[in-house]
Amino acid sequence: MPRQIDKKQITLFALTWPIFIEIFLHMLMGNADTFMLSQYSDESVAAAGVANQILNLVIVMFGFIATGSVILITQNLGAGKEKTAKEVAVMSLITNFIIGSFISAILFFFSKPILSLMNLSPSLLDEGNQYLGIVGTFIVIQALIMTGAAVLRSYGFTKDTMYITILMNVLNVAGNYTLIFGAFGLPELGIQGAAISTAASRILGLVIIGFVLIKRIPALRESLEFNTRHLINLLKIGVPSAGEQLSYNMSQMAITFFVAMIGTEALTTKIYAQNLMMFIFLFSISVSQGTQILVGRMVGAKKYEEAFRRCMKSLYLAIGASVLMAVIVSTGSDSLFGLFTSNQEIIQTGGMLILLTVLLEPGRAFNLVIIGALRAAGDVKFPVYMGLISMWGISVPVAYVLGIHFGFGLAGIWIAFILDEWTRGILMYFRWKSRAWVSKGFVEKGKPALREQTAH
């Protein structure tokens, strides 16, 4: 009999530490490509970095279904509606398979035209096309992995997704070593080898996560049907939730276009700096995801004050940890950048960017934790509206004015990031304090698609 989760045993720590390790390893996988390619060519790093920005934008489109499934599943589990939770889980997998297959086809046929919009030099365009063409063709695999992992986390099985991620990382690093540099007598494939390794490790990861889903969630296979009502609710939650992330990724692509105007060295510096920054806000992301699961269950059970206090405690934890990590990384920034490159200009500029990150990361912590809690409570539209205003009203124009027009370069662009994160963060803080989200819970509203059709 598959193990059941005892709701009384679920704590933020029990949820968060496996999520922390899982996200750390996801970041390590991305950084493994960057680090190993940096030993091959700085140009390959820049090309893969731009291709990954496009892939990150695509992944947001899968994320809106995964996000919707977490909210609906946790609220229904909190309300004791387990049958509906399973139906939502199956519907989210079916939907992301359809979306992922469509996007895979687009990237297979149009990877080079899409990359050409990013203002890349011809050499970077060719390398980027090799990477995007391979990884993009198999992006449907990532869609299913994301959705399956979201379902498992919603049920509290965060350790399972952590173990799967460990295995995927080991395979990816081994594949990178073998295929990038041509180990064991195989041809030296460079960036193409990194792409093949990434795709192969994801395929195996999907096989395992599918097996775990069937084992961990009883009678999941009995819910294999296309349920239009659940799809509508997933879209109602997911589309606005994805809007904030979609806006962020599009604004980042616009800013990457500005950085490409400065030069390839600046583009490479930005990629190295942002790879290091991911480890700084790692704790905030994991706390945000753990908090989202708990808040969703609390809102489903109509425990609104508990949900409010949980979010605030999580916010203080995330702010403290992000400041501490930013200071530590800034102190050792020269050595950390030295792992990627020997170019002193990149190392010095990167160190300045990490120092500015000490100011940036507390603002990001506000956004990660509170936006996650607002989504879990069903308040999905407000973060989108504020995100659109701040990202396109502050981040993008200020990045151009300071970075390009006044010639401050990457420092000006980082200042734009700081202003954007803090503006949105403060707005999210006051939204949570207002408790406007109390009336947004989907189970509380008694929508037909969320009511049980049979008695337990």
Is 451 inside a domain boundary? no
Number of domains in the chain: 1
Is 454 inside a domain boundary? no
Strand ranges for 332-387 from DSSP E = none
Q: Which CB contacts under 8 angstroms, 24+ apart, belong to 417-421?
A: 417/360, 418/356, 418/359, 418/360, 418/363, 419/394, 419/395, 420/390, 420/391, 420/394, 420/395, 421/360, 421/363, 421/364, 421/366, 421/367
CB 251 within 8 A of CB 120: no
Q: Which two tokens stand for residue 307?
A: 């949900």
Per residue in 259-295, pLDDT (tens digit) is 988 888 888 888 888 888 888 888 899 999 899 989 9
CB 322 within 8 A of CB 367: no
Is 2 inside a domain boundary? no
Per-residue pLDDT of the chain (456 residues; tens, 9 = 90+): 344 444 445 788 888 888 888 888 777 666 667 677 777 777 777 787 788 878 877 887 787 788 888 888 988 888 888 888 888 898 899 989 999 999 999 998 888 888 888 767 777 888 888 888 899 899 999 999 999 999 998 888 888 988 998 898 888 888 888 888 888 878 888 888 888 998 999 999 999 999 999 888 877 766 667 777 788 888 888 777 777 777 887 888 899 889 988 888 888 888 888 888 888 888 899 999 899 989 988 988 889 999 999 999 999 999 999 999 999 999 988 888 888 788 888 899 999 999 999 999 999 999 999 999 998 888 888 988 998 999 999 999 999 999 999 989 999 999 999 999 999 999 999 999 999 988 776 654 444 333 333 333
Is 67 inside a domain boundary? yes
- Parent domain of 79: 10-444
CB 428 within 8 A of CB 371: yes
Q: Which two tokens stand for residue 415?
A: 């200042």
CB atoms within 10 A of CB 456: 7
Q: What is the pTM of this model?
A: 0.74
Residue 284 half-sphere exposure toward CB, CA atoms < 13 A: 28
Is 452 inside a domain boundary? no
Is 404 inside a domain boundary? yes
Per residue in 140-159, pLDDT (tens digit) is 999 999 999 999 988 888 88
